Chain A
Amino acid sequence: MGFFDKLLSLLGLTGRKVNVLVVGLDNSGKTTIIERLKPKPKQAAEVAPTVGFTVDELQKGALTFTVFDMSGAGRYRTLWEQYYREADAVIFVVDSADKLRMVVARDEMEHMLRHPNLRQVPVLYFANKKDIPVAMPPVEIAQALGLDDIKDRPWQIVPSNGLSGEGVDKGIDWLAERLGK
């Protein structure tokens, strides 16, 4: 943390730090979305499958996001729960074009929401890869995932395109607004 950051935090300009957990099936675009959230010069050109997890820090308005970008590959999904306790928010990324595995996504999601360690934190759904022609619209995805049944926590589903960054900011704004309260 540089001197300037310290100064900002002293003045209360950077505000609160929040931990955000980014989960979702493998190849749904989690890391790409995180990259898009970074300032332009820091963005990595290409993204390799995450093994385990990575941590990133992002500024958004008055909030500092500490983003835990989890790997979505099958063998690592059981490790997500290790990070539930600290999460102040969850971002669940769904591949809109992957109709076949929508049930798997729903399964993992329900599993996560039932977990005792996860508090009643806001969940942001990114219906990612909306640019692909066969992508399902967000409403259909919400239906497929059974989001309407979630009554105990705030949630939002936002269509996004990780490659262009379209929709990503909109989703994060929602999250920032929720957490800012």
Chain B
Amino acid sequence: MAATAQDSQAPLRGPEKKDEDREDETEFSPFYGIDKGAVLQEARVFNDPQIDPRRCQQVITKLLYLLNQGEVFTKKEAAEVFFGVTKLFQKQDINLRRMMYLCIKDICPGADEVIIVTSSLMKDMNSKVDLFRSNSVRVLCKIIDGQLLAQIERYLKQAIVDKSPVVASAALVSASHLLGNNAEIVKRWINEVQEAAQNKNNMVQFHAVALLHALRASDRLAISKLVTSLTKASVKSPLAQCLLVRYVAQVIQDSQPGANGEQRPFYDFLESCLRHKAEVVIFEAARAICNLRDVTARELTPAITVLQLFLSSSKPVLRFAAVRTLNKVAMTHPLAVTHCNIDMETLISDQNRSIATLAITTLLKTGNESSVEKLLKQIGSFMSDIADDFKIVVVEAIRSLCLKFPTKQRALMNFLSGVLREEGGFEYKKAIVQSILVLIQEIPDAKETGLGHLCEFIEDCEFTYLSTQVLHLLGQEGPKTKEPSKYIRYIYNRIILENATVRAAAVSALANFGAACEPLRPRIIVLLRRALADNDDEVRDRATLHLQQLEGKAGGPDAVQPRLDVNITAMEKALSDYLAGPTDKPFDISVVPKAPPPVRASGSSALGLATSTATNSSGGAAPTSAARKDPTAEYAELLRSIPQLAPLGEVFKSCEPVALTEKDTEYSVFCVKHVYEGHVVFQFNCTNTIAEQVLEDVSVAMDLAEASDFEEAFTVPLDQMPLNGVGQCFTVVTRQPGAIATGKIVNILKFKVKEIDPSTGEAEEEGYEDEYVLEDLEVSPADYVKPTLLGNFRKAWEELDPATEKEDEYGLGTREGLQEAVEAVIGILGMQPCEGSEAVPPNARSHTVLLAGIFVGYQQVLVRMSFGIDATNNVAMKLVVRAESIELSEAIHSIIQDA
């Protein structure tokens, strides 16, 4: 209704104003400061025996204004206004009626009352005036319930195919709204809607196509069919065509990509849209092609060509749309965009800064080595005109460009240092400093110049955070350069001029120089002495410590930069355990497991490779499979350190800890199963929570009645169960080497209790034996399988004997979605997904997952799972297993059956 309502409001709008007095625009509103109470009084005019249509219109306009300003009408007020408005149905004034429709839609009192206008609206629906017909349809569909809808269904059907486009569109739009609650009824109108889709009027066709799509939204197959038929029929309206292009793109997105070389379905259609008359359709099609999943260069070419034409269009919106799309394409297919570089270069001087920035970043991504200098010059000319967040985009683009062309690092580095000296906010400066840091790390040649620029920068840097970061880096990298001495002045200046935090960082940086460069050491010592008189504690402390170290005490110069080669998470745990217990003994760092040789964070290298600028945040995300930590490695060290367990050999797999006690009980016990070739070691992590007791000689006795494949070998008792700390005792059972023994084990915690005498605080001499029944522990086949990485699943699958193949189907019940079901099953099996098959494509109704694992004894197991999901989210799964023996295949199935 918005389109038709505009006219009536036009005279009510304030006079057009010049730019200069835009601030006091609100005061020119004819309704500024009107009062609800007064308007409600005015609304009594609706009840006059002689109705003045013009006056009523104005009152309704005021009411609507109040409603849209967020004014709340009480139920009584709303009802009064509403009934007043209904009385106006006696007037046939077109403008008044239009305002009445708006008012009824907006005021909407209770369902019981609003229904009273139904018959009046139905009368209007059959009126001869198009405006009455269209608008009454809209209002009626808004207030109606399912039962009444069935009564007026035939009128609505007629309206959909009405000659007047206004009425037909109104009916179609109303039908889209009704679809939410009365889908069944609307679905019966499909023939009429299809007829409307052939309407010559653009608007009607647009609405009809949208409704046709909405009617089938839940059925992918039907959508595909609809799109097929619509692409063949002639959709003339540009907007409808745009919709169609979007639907086509969706269908392509959902369909499985064809085998290599095979053309995608509908690609021809998209391509033909590129030759459409309307620009909006051309752009929509080009954008759809650019956004195709795994789009190939050949598919891109025609789309890029039309976008290139848009680049030189006289309409800013077309230029913006084109350059924005090209910018996105440049992230994935920089080569495809290079044709447009010449056009894009002219856009750098575009009046519209957004277009210019997008153009420049696109150029930076696609640029070749020779054009870098020219580009930098052009960027420099407008860098001061754009906002900080655009500058950040530019800086990031330069960083990726620099990584791409290391030989150009000098020019780019100079540019970065230039912009670093200019005015800018913290985020912007941070982005520049980060870029320089990355470049220093990635490009060895850039190190010296980069450090030089950073030194200049901290001379005049107002951000403490950045200063300390740079100082730390100088401390790390400076001593390794050819001329370390030249950095010392910069650093020492910080000690004189800056705030305490920066001074402390500078002291540490200086000490690093002293430690790493023997020749400089005496001079550094002199400088550090001056910092001894600093008025900040931290600075003095650091200076004192480093002085001692440099003079050969307190661990000597090597200790200036201590290398902590411990596992940080283990360290944190050990420290918190230490703090929880008595702290009279010093903390022993040697109990903390050593860290594996540091792996270079994948984040920074990914950053380097990513040519994207704005979406760099994704670069930091580590691959998800790496995030699944392997508990086995963590425990291996511990197990090896226990003499009784050492002879058992290498641990095959350690499982996740299982709680054997309820929360908040006297003792808390967790069990970790370690699987060896011929043994299973149960590690019990025990915690005592009762301060009045001392528990000694703790062990776990096992009843293996329901697990006859096992035989108890020995136990490693715990001398004393620590209060609120974790102590370990072990129980070892044997089984046939390599066998997959399963069963349920009953556990009893045995210990000797000594009460603590509350008066003395010491434990009594005499204790007594006690037992505590723990929860049962299950040993399942899943405990014997661990994930393994596999290069070529198909080859490995074919190498395994088909005779070992075992297949079965399972219903997984109602799930949130396929992805959730897939993750759950992978979690149960504990195997490694191969070839990225654990990721379910969006909207997929079926999916196949490939899993690889090894059983104890290093026997390979491969699993192929096919999932399917129906409309009610019921998931079914077909599981096919191949392994080195049929027993293993059965074992996998039993894991699923037990889960």
Contacts and interface: CB of A to CB of B under 8 A. Distances in A.
Nearest to B88: A55
A79 B452 CA distance: 85
A19 B49 contact: yes
B120 A82 contact: no
A165 to B, nearest CB: 21
B589 interface: no
A50 to B, nearest CB: 5
Contact of A51 (B49, B83, B90, B148): B148
A85 B151 contact: no
B112 A54 contact: no
Contacts of B112: 75
Given A17-B50, A76-B116, A66 B90 contact: yes
A53 B87 CA distance: 10
Interface string B104-147: 00000000110111111011000000000000000000000000
Given A51-B148, A55-B90, A83-B87, A71 B47 contact: no
A55 B151 contact: no
B115 A51 contact: yes
B119 A86 contact: no
A51 B87 contact: no
A52 B90 contact: no
A85 B119 contact: no
A58 to B, nearest CB: 11
Contacts of A76: 115-116
Nearest to B83: A82
B89 interface: yes
A55 B117 CA distance: 10
Contacts of A57: 90
A86 B115 contact: no
Contacts of A48: 151
Contacts of B151: 48
Interface in A49-77: 50-55, 57, 66, 68, 71, 75-76
Q: In terms of DSSP, what is the predominant structure of the interface of chain B?
A: helix
B152 to A, nearest CB: 9
Contacts of B123: 54
Nearest to A52: B116
B97 to A, nearest CB: 12
A82 B112 CA distance: 13
A50 B151 CA distance: 12
Contact of A52 (B47, B50, B120): B120
Interface residues of B, number: 21
A1 interface: yes
A17 B49 contact: yes
Contact of B118 (A17, A19, A51, A82): A51
Contacts of A54: 89, 119-120, 123
Interface string B68-88: 000000000000000100110
A79 B120 contact: no
A21 B89 CA distance: 14
B92 interface: yes
Given A1-B92, A19-B49, A86 B117 contact: no
Contacts of B89: 54-55
Contacts of B115: 51-52, 76
A54 to B, nearest CB: 5
B122 A86 contact: no
Contacts of A55: 89-90, 120
Interface centre among B120, B122, B151 (most CB of A within 10 A): B120
Interface in B30-74: 47, 49-50
Interface residues of A, number: 22
B887 to A, nearest CB: 72
Interface in B198-238: none
Nearest to B92: A1
B115 to A, nearest CB: 6
B47 A53 contact: no
B113 A79 contact: yes
Contacts of A50: 119
Contacts of B120: 52-55
B230 to A, nearest CB: 37
Contacts of A83: 83, 87
A19 B89 CA distance: 13
B742 to A, nearest CB: 67
A50 B122 CA distance: 10
Contacts of B116: 51-53, 71, 76, 79, 82
Contacts of B47: 85-86
A42 to B, nearest CB: 12
B632 to A, nearest CB: 72
Interface centre among B87, B119, B122, B123 (most CB of A within 10 A): B119
Given A1-B92, A66-B90, A83-B87, A53 B49 contact: no
A24 B373 CA distance: 90
Contacts of A86: 47, 49, 87
Contacts of A79: 113, 116
A82 B49 CA distance: 15
A35 to B, nearest CB: 12
Contacts of A53: 86, 116-117, 119-120
A134 B118 CA distance: 34
A53 B49 CA distance: 18
Contacts of B83: 82-83
A49 to B, nearest CB: 9
Interface string A125-154: 000000000000000000000000000000
B92 to A, nearest CB: 7
A88 B123 CA distance: 24
Contacts of B119: 50-54, 71
Contacts of B49: 17, 19, 86, 88
Nearest to B126: A44
A48 B155 CA distance: 13
A75 B117 CA distance: 14
A125 B891 CA distance: 88
A82 B119 CA distance: 16
A57 B92 CA distance: 10
Interface string A69-111: 0010001100100110110100000000000000000000000
Nearest to A80: B116
Nearest to B120: A54
A162 B122 CA distance: 22
Contacts of A68: 90
A57 to B, nearest CB: 7
Interface string A30-55: 00000000000000000010111111
Interface centre among A48, A52, A83 (most CB of B within 10 A): A52
Interface centre among B50, B90, B148 (most CB of A within 10 A): B90
Interface centre among B116, B118, B123, B151 (most CB of A within 10 A): B116
Contacts of A66: 90
A149 to B, nearest CB: 30
Nearest to A1: B92
Contacts of A88: 49
Interface string B447-479: 000000000000000000000000000000000
A52 B104 CA distance: 14
A9 B395 CA distance: 79
Contacts of A17: 49-50
A93 B146 CA distance: 30
A75 B110 CA distance: 13
17 contacts: A19-B49, A50-B119, A51-B116, A51-B118, A52-B117, A52-B119, A53-B117, A53-B120, A55-B89, A55-B90, A71-B119, A76-B116, A82-B86, A82-B116, A83-B83, A86-B47, A86-B49
Interface of B: 47, 49-50, 83, 86-87, 89-90, 92, 112-113, 115-120, 122-123, 148, 151
Given A19-B49, A51-B115, A54-B89, 5 more contacts: A17-B50, A51-B122, A54-B123, A82-B116, A83-B83
